[in-house]
Amino acid sequence: MAHEWCSVICKNRLTLEGWESLLLDALEIGFRHLDPQHCHIQAGLTYIENHQVLVDTAFKSKKSEVIADLLHAWLMIASGRSVGREFFSICARHLVGLHDLVPFPSRLRRLVIRSIEMIGYKGFEGVGVEGFVDLLNNLHVTVEDMGGEFRWTGILLDTLQSPEESRHLSHHYWELLVELATSAEPWTRGFLTYSPQITTFLTEAPEWSKLECWMGIVWMVWPPGAGRTTEEDIGRTMQLLFRRQPKAAQKLEERMERWSQIHGEDVPEPFQQIFEQAYEAAQRNAP
């Protein structure tokens, strides 16, 4: 019934005194007590034309519980429906502006993370990737927070395709991407793509700790792609990394071993050879 109350209130708001309070009360009564992970409502989305009113009213309150009620409602009502994704895209510009509520209360944080999964990276491009990166850094998402690890692998990879913005993405997310990619099912590798722009950016920045993480997933997207990046390019990058950050070689080797143990496969031989040659060269040229 709550979604119908919202529809009626939005539709008649010009003639209702105190309609904003009524709308927020409807969200609270209808959804705050429900668990969005275990309760899905079969509802006709009858107030599509009032989406913007509903979103703007909830976010304008600047109250964490009210905003959480809004996200909570749509995670249950519209999860997996195209209209739901459109609605969450309306929320995107508001989500990147939640600076006043940082650090996020636990309930709001959980629902914002779930909302990002619904929206995806593309939904935030129109409102500014810089704001999206700030939002991610404030959330400090972990594997335990995720409703879909595969979705987050894609979100992080898409975010990193913008070198200027990836400069500001915290090291935590580079480590998280390695963790997600290492544990990913074999069939998902086809959705991972190697980006030479990331390698170039991290080398020129220089961002050695982030480059160490990036090298930690290169073999999962092997081969890197003819005409874009050669094995020699990766070898030179890895050798430079090992000289500037000697512990990176040991960490990369540990990641390769863990990946092999999880999937029962060997790291591609060309990459293994590049690693060994880069390590030997770095040792010879060590100060």
Over the stretch 73-98, which tens digit does the pLDDT of each residue have? 777 766 545 455 566 778 888 999 89
**Any domain includes 40:** yes
**Any domain includes 61:** yes
Please state the rounded mean pLDDT for residues 254-264.
90
**Any domain includes 26:** yes
Report yes or no: 238 and 251 within 8 Å, Cβ to Cβ: no
**Any domain includes 76:** yes
Q: How far apart are CA 179 and CA 177, in angstroms?
A: 5
Share of the chain above pLDDT 90, in %: 22
**Any domain includes 25:** yes
Residue 70's nearest CA partner among 138, 10, 3, 116 is: 3
- Average model confidence (pLDDT) across the chain: 79
pLDDT given for residue 28 in this prediction: 66
The model's confidence at residue 276, banded by pLDDT at 50, 70 and 90, is very high
**Any domain includes 144:** no
Please state the rounded mean pLDDT for residues 258-283.
88
> What range defines the domain where residue 14 resides?
1-125
**Any domain includes 95:** yes
pLDDT given for residue 142 in this prediction: 95
**Any domain includes 267:** no
How many folded domains does the chain comprise? 1
Residue 274 has pLDDT above 70, yes or no: yes
pLDDT given for residue 29 in this prediction: 58
DSSP string spanning the chain? -HHHHHHHHHHTGGG-TTHHHHHHHHHHHHHTTS-TTT-------TTGGGHHHHHHHHHHTT-HHHHHHHHHHHHHHSTTSHHHHHHHHHHHHHHTTGGGGPSPPHHHHHHHHHHHHHHTTHHHHTT-HHHHHHHHHHH---GGG-S-HHHHHHHHHHHHTSHHHHTTS-HHHHHHHHHHHHHS-GGGGGG----HHHHHHHHHTT-HHHHHHHHTTGGGG-S--TTT--HHHHHHHHHHHHHH-THHHHHHHHHHHHHHHHHT-PPPHHHHHHHHHHHHHHHHT--
Whether pTM > 0.95 for this model: the answer is no
pLDDT given for residue 147 in this prediction: 83
pLDDT given for residue 37 in this prediction: 54
Residue 188 has pLDDT above 90, yes or no: no
pLDDT given for residue 40 in this prediction: 43
The per-residue pLDDT for range 31-73, each reduced to its tens digit, is 666 655 544 444 444 445 677 787 888 888 888 988 988 888 7
Share of the chain above pLDDT 70, in %: 72
pLDDT given for residue 250 in this prediction: 92
Residue 227 has pLDDT above 50, yes or no: no
Q: How far apart are CA 32 and CA 230, in angstroms?
A: 54
Q: Of 81-85, 230-234, 280-284, which range is least confident?
A: 81-85
Which range has highest mean pLDDT (24-28, 50-54, 109-113)? 109-113
